Amino acid sequence: ETLDKGLEKSKTSFFSKLGKAVAGKAKVDDDVLDSLEEILVTSDVGVDTTLKIIDRIEDRVARDKYLGTEELNTILREEIAGLLSETNTGEATDFEIPTNKKPYVLMVVGVNGVGKTTTIGKLAHQFSNKGLKVVLGAADTFRAAAIDQLQVWADRTNVPIIKQKMGSDPASVAFDTLSAAVNQNADVVIIDTAGRLHNKVNLMNELSKVKRVMQKVVGDAPHDVLLVLDGSTGQNAFEQAKQFTKATEVTSLAVTKLDGTAKGGVVIGISDQFQIPVKYIGVGEGIDDLQVFNKYEFVDSFFK
């Protein structure tokens, strides 16, 4: 229900466009497929993934020449869910962490403004609500505002934060954070990192140094590298995914601001193109406005 509400915009727009495209048409013909292609592209699914979906539907039309437009919803839903299943195998409905990692170390990457700090705050809230002991690390030392913002979330969620002054070595902050987490017997460590894309070599070096230094404290850290993307930015989000996956090994995605966009299709395209699972979606600015991504609920929300 909250998902439906959060995704209201994506859903209404996608569904109503599809409705208009098939209005007065009994069967799926080339015109319908052309309109569908356009709807998917304008919903930010991305050209490659759109063509993949259209191909799959064409295959079905080839098998059933009289495929009715009333079945298109069902088929499209199946094909999109199928596509997401290739990467999003889990159907988690809860904020879970691996039980065999203590502390479980989550490194969060993404450019400024995408909602990285907010997502970290929301995660800290969810995990500590479950009784898990969380520690935050302010390793985005490039901007004073980043440290301050993370502090605000630490206060709001009543979670300890490890920080140093602006300009200090991010790897040193990460080292301190993991050491504190181990000392405090914490369950979850969330490390914020700087999101500068303009200097890719620096970014790559910085992220690998942060990782290397963290491993001095927790041998197999980080257990996950979460890339935060702004779902309302379409092609920019694709481009950022491209850059970050080149700079470091990204293991999961959080797509934010899906409440404010009519283009939630970016979730489908990015997950497909980069073969990385979407773990969380942001559907508002509030502390509870983060959801564990469930591909079936997500796809359904487009067609309800």
Residue ranges for the known binding site are 110-117, 192-196, 256-259
Residue 288 in contact with ligand GDP, rule: CB under 6 A: no
Residues 263 and 230: their CA atoms lie apart, in Å, by 11
Under a CB-based contact definition with an 8 Å cutoff, are residues 111 and 165 in contact?
Answer: no
Q: Applying CB under 6 A, which part among 160-168, 176-184, 233-241, 277-285 lies near ligand GDP?
A: 277-285
Residues 37 and 55: their CA atoms lie apart, in Å, by 10
Under a CB-based contact definition with an 8 Å cutoff, are residues 101 and 73 in contact?
Answer: no
The beta-carbon contacts of 2-5 under 8 Å, at least 24 apart in sequence, are 2/283, 2/291, 3/283, 3/291, 3/294, 3/297, 3/298, 3/301, 4/301, 4/304, 5/283
Residue 116 in contact with ligand GDP, rule: CB under 6 A: yes
Q: How far is the CB of 173 from ligand GDP (least distance, A)?
A: 16
The nearer residue to ligand GDP, 27 or 196, going by C-beta atoms, is 196
The nearer residue to ligand GDP, 116 or 295, going by C-beta atoms, is 116
Within 73-92, which residues bind ligand GDP (CB under 6 A)? Answer: none
The nearer residue to ligand GDP, 116 or 211, going by C-beta atoms, is 116
Which H or E element spans position 23? none
Of 49, 69, 118, 252, the one binding ligand GDP by CB under 6 A? 118
In the annotated binding site for GTP, the residues are: 110-117, 192-196, 256-259
Q: Applying CB under 6 A, which part among 61-69, 113-121, 171-179, 238-246 lies near ligand GDP?
A: 113-121
Q: How far is the CB of 201 from ligand GDP (least distance, A)?
A: 22
What is the residue type of 272? D
Residue 115 in contact with ligand GDP, rule: CB under 6 A: yes
Residue 285 in contact with ligand GDP, rule: CB under 6 A: yes
Q: How far is the CB of 261 from ligand GDP (least distance, A)?
A: 9
Under a CB-based contact definition with an 8 Å cutoff, are residues 267 and 238 in contact?
Answer: no
**Close Cβ partners of 121 (under 8 Å, ≥ 6 residues apart):** 150, 152, 153, 154, 156, 157, 287
Residue 256 in contact with ligand GDP, rule: CB under 6 A: yes
What is the full DSSP assignment across 243-266?
Answer: HHHHHS---EEEEE-GGG-S-TTH
Which residues bind to ligand GDP, rule: CB under 6 A?
110, 112-118, 149, 256-257, 259-260, 282-285, 289
